[in-house]
Amino acid sequence: MGKLSLQLIIEEILLKNNLSPSSESYFLKLSMSPHDFLVIGKVGEQVLIALQNGDLVSDPVFSLDYNKGFWFPVQFEAKNGKTICSFLENGNRMAFPYVLKRCMLFQGMFAGKIRNQNWLENGVKVE
């Protein structure tokens, strides 16, 4: 499996902000009016990505396993709840094929939204 479009755009954003996608941990919060905030974080093998639009609930939140440089969808949260795409059991990746396909399609749409809103070019780092 190759890198997904969400991983590619997020890695571009990280590198532009002098963060290595392979670092053990990082936190980046970008602001861009009128879209509010794009938050990207990594702790260990878990990558989290959220777009916060001023609501009490960010929409959506993606959780991915770093998986040796290829981000694998674990779950995403949206206003309608949490969707589990995959999990590790005894060192083996367990996935729900239909849900995983839906998750990857949603990630692709989200990546397009981030590109179309020009977060790479216009996102301003929040200290």
Q: SS3 for 9-38, per residue? A: HHHHHHHHCCCCCCCCEEEEEEEECCCEEE
Q: DSSP letters of the chain?
A: ----HHHHHHHHHHHHTT--TTSSEEEEEEEETTTEEEEEEEETTEEEEEEE-SSSS-S-EEEEE-GGGS-EEEEEEETTEEEE-EEEETTEEEE-HHHHHHHHHHHHHHHHHHHHTTHHHH-EE--
Residue 93 counted as domain residue: yes
| pLDDT, position 1 | 44
- Confidence tier at 55 by pLDDT (50, 70, 90): low
pLDDT tens, residue by residue, 113-125: 899 999 999 999 9
Residue 13 counted as domain residue: yes
Residue count of the chain: 127
Domain count, the chain: 1
Residue 126 counted as domain residue: no
| pLDDT, position 35 | 67
| Rounded (5°) CA angle 97-63-85 | 15
Query: Of 25, 51, 27, which is closest to residue 40 (Cα–Cα)?
Result: 27
Residue 84 counted as domain residue: yes
pLDDT tens, residue by residue, 24-53: 999 999 999 876 899 999 999 999 999 887
Residue 77 counted as domain residue: yes
Residue 71 counted as domain residue: yes
Mean pLDDT (the chain, rounded): 87
Task: Return d(Cα 113, Cα 127) in angstroms, integer.
Answer: 24
Task: Return d(Cα 47, Cα 39) in angstroms, integer.
Answer: 11
Please give the residue range of the domain that contains residue 52.
5-119
Residue 127 counted as domain residue: no
Residue 125 counted as domain residue: no
